[in-house]
Amino acid sequence: MDVAKNKYSIIVPTYNERLNIALIVYLIFKHLRDVDFEIIVVDDGSPDGTQEVVKQLQNLYGEDRILLRPRAKKLGLGTAYIHGLKHASGNFVVIMDADLSHHPKYLPNFIKKQLETGASIVTGTRYVTGGGVHGWNLMRKLTSRGANVLAQTLLWPGVSDLTGSFRLYKKSVLEDVISCCVSKGYVFQMEMIVRASRKGYHIEEVPITFVDRVFGSSKLGGSEIVEYLKGLVYLMITT
């Protein structure tokens, strides 16, 4: 593939990320110096002024590099990606979180891996050497590991990190996969990668580090576990 002609559309869904979005944009520009890219901010009507900050960033970096494509209210991650996709002019799409748990410094690694292997999807994994997590207590690590072993045993997904949402897709592949995914939340991320795997797309992994910035917030209560198990069963039956 002609390197000079690749363009990367980075979709960042935001909700109340007034500070983080500015930091992320700065870091993306810092780490992708010689790359043709655009950042698509899909903001779901944040009340904290996120969109104002994005407009300031547009003044600084250019409206052709930062696209603000907001929505009226919180409408969910899957639809945020679909919305972002409609405005993406690149042939590659990166999805990442806005809260700085995904560090833009790994973007060159994603790009390099894709160019080296010609993969359709490059997904970030926290669970291999070179990757890692910070900010998780023992309980959190235990549930994460248990969930992962269960998913590996039941689904044979072909990737080590199923719930990760730091990924690079060929645009056509993302469009194909996203059209058949119906789940919500992190099960959505699992569904995307499992469906892609079942369809035979070439998937590669790069290690990433994940700094959980929401210290002390218990994202894993009983209902989350039930949702997860339901998600696994759903994926077993439908993929």
Partner 1 sequence: MKHVLKLFSLLVVISALWIGLLQASIIPRTHTWLLPIYFIVSLGCYGLLMVGVGLMRFPTCPQEALLLQKDIAEAKDFLKKKGVDVGSD
Binding interface with partner 1 (CB under 8 A): 16-20, 22-23, 26-27, 48-49, 52-53, 56-57, 59-60, 100, 103, 105, 126-135, 141-142, 145-146, 148-150, 153-156, 198, 209, 211, 235-239
CB 37 within 8 A of CB 10: yes
Q: Which is nearer to partner 1, 78 or 104 (CB)?
A: 104
- Beta bridge partners, 45, equal none
Closest C-alpha among 117, 205, 222, 224 to residue 161: 205
Cβ-based neighbours of 14, under 8 Å, separated by 6 or more: 20, 21, 41, 42, 43, 44, 46, 50, 98
Q: Which is nearer to partner 1, 7 or 105 (CB)?
A: 105
Q: Which is nearer to partner 1, 92 or 201 (CB)?
A: 201
Shortest Cβ 199–partner 1 spacing (Å): 13
Q: Which is nearer to partner 1, 82 or 192 (CB)?
A: 192
Shortest Cβ 126–partner 1 spacing (Å): 7
Q: What are phi and psi of 42, to 5 degrees?
A: -105, 95
Shortest Cβ 3–partner 1 spacing (Å): 27
Would you give the DSSP letter of residue 5?
G
Shortest Cβ 26–partner 1 spacing (Å): 4
Q: Which is nearer to partner 1, 22 or 35 (CB)?
A: 22
CB 168 within 8 A of CB 94: yes
